[in-house]
A = this chain, B = another copy of it.
Amino acid sequence: MESNRYTRGQEALARIHGHIGEGVMDTLKDIAPDFARFIIEFPYGDIYSRGVLSPKERQIATIASLTTLGNAPTELKAHIQGSLNVGCTRQEIVEVIIQMAVYAGFPAAVNALLVAKEVFAELDKNKGSM
């Protein structure tokens, strides 16, 4: 069962973040290999693999939380990209962030919008270079 959690987690990680997810895990592996495994097993294997909410609804919750935290721009970037991967539109992501001005304040929303802008610009650039 334990190995099921890991496999299930890897699949969820790949579904949401594509190849970028593996890169983050590799960065952590030499300093904290067990923790890299925990990330795959618990958030991805246990949580993102659950039903009840659609993948899109889970990403809405995550974008809202990371915008509210306001101090995890790298994770926010990864999850904005992930939100697009599971079917959110750019407009929907922007809309979730705007709503956070109400709960987490305007600076939190502005800073998250600038992260979203960066993600969208990179995507447009990559598309342009293809």
**Which residues of A does B touch, CB under 8 Å?**
1-5, 24, 27-28, 30-32, 34-35, 38-39, 42-43, 46-48, 50, 52-53, 57-58, 60-72, 74-75, 91-92, 94-111, 113-114, 116-117, 120
* Chain B residues whose CB sits within 8 angstroms of the CB of A69 once the complex forms: 68, 70, 103-105, 107
Contact of A98 among B32, B109, B111, B116 (CB under 8 A): B32
Alpha-carbon gap, A104 to B92, bound state (A): 22
A67 to chain B, nearest CB (A): 8
Q: Lowest 3 A-B CB distances belong to which pairs? A: A1-B2, A72-B107, A64-B64
**B70:A71 contact, CB within 8 angstroms:** yes
- With A and B bound together, what is the CA distance between A42 and B53 in angstroms? 22
